[in-house]
């Protein structure tokens, strides 16, 4: 599978089969994040992989009660160990760097026959407390992962000419 095929096949999975994920597949997913680019090569990401059923249940509650978080055989919690770095454009590095790493993970997951759902609706203090994450570490995302138990839905996407402008911004 090439990258464009993985991009086209990826969708947000909210229903998982009750199959365990093979260690080598999960390691390849995390390896994709490890190899992702980051500002100044800081690699400020850290990932907590949760497989324990009771902990996944607790994470589901911390994720505003979203049941599919508990139903996934594993959940990857993406964290940033630094927050003070700001690029010259004025944006903080960590949300961009972690987002790139998470996007890489989602694509490798597709290649491995797995599905994910990027969850941003969660109580970071509860997640931090559950997993023993230090107070100075930022919880950026929650990524349930497993074998999809649902077909990819049709997705509406804007056309290329609606999102790409050449040489200057175009209105309407």
| Cα gap 162→165, rounded to integer Å | 8
pTM: 0.94
80 pairs with which residues across the strands?
45, 138
pLDDT band at 172 (very low <50, low <70, confident <90, very high): low
pLDDT at residue 67, as a whole number: 96
Q: Are 16 and 44 in contact (CB under 8 A)?
A: no
Q: Residue ranges of the domains in the chain?
A: 3-149
Residue with tokens 């996007």: 103
Q: Which residue has the higher pLDDT, 171 or 49?
A: 49
Query: 100-136 pLDDT, tens per residue?
Result: 999 999 999 999 999 999 999 999 999 999 999 999 9
The CATH code of the domain at 3-149 is 3.40.109.10
For 5-60, write each residue's pLDDT tens digit: 998 999 999 999 999 999 999 999 999 999 999 999 999 999 999 999 999 999 99
Whether 152 has a pLDDT exceeding 90, the answer reads: no
Phi, psi of 9 (to 5 degrees): -85, -20
Q: Which of 37, 38, 124 is nearest to 85 (CA)?
A: 38
Angle between helix 23-34 and helix 93-111 axes, rounded to 10 deg: 140
For 20-87, the DSSP string reads: PPPHHHHHHHHHHHHTS--GGG---EEEEEE--HHHHHHHHHHTTT-HHHHHSSEEEEEEES----B-
Q: How confident is the model at residue 69 (pLDDT cuts 50, 70, 90)?
A: very high
What's the confidence (pLDDT) of residue 19? 93
> Treating both helix axes as pointing N-terminal to C-terminal, what angle do 124-131 and 53-62 enclose, rounded to 10 degrees?
160
Residues 16, 69: Cα–Cα separation, whole Å: 9
């Amino acid at each position: 599978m090439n990258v464009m095929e993985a991009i086209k096949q990826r969708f947000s999975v909210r229903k998982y089969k009750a199959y365990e994920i093979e260690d080598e597949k999960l390691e390849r997913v995390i390896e994709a994040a490890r190899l992702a680019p980051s500002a100044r090569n800081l690699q400020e990401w850290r990932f907590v992989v949760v497989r324990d059923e009771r902990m996944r249940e607790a994470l589901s509650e911390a994720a505003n009660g979203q049941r599919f978080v508990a139903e996934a055989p594993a959940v990857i919690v993406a964290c940033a160990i630094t927050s003070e770095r700001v690029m010259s454009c004025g944006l903080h590095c960590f949300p961009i760097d972690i987002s790139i790493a998470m996007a890489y993970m989602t694509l490798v997951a597709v290649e491995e026959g797995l599905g994910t759902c990027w969850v941003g609706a969660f109580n970071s203090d509860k997640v931090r407390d559950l997993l023993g994450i230090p107070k100075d570490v930022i919880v950026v995302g929650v990524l349930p992962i497993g074998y999809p138990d649902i077909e990819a839905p049709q997705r509406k996407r804007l056309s290329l000419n609606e999102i790409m402008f050449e040489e200057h911004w175009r209105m309407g």
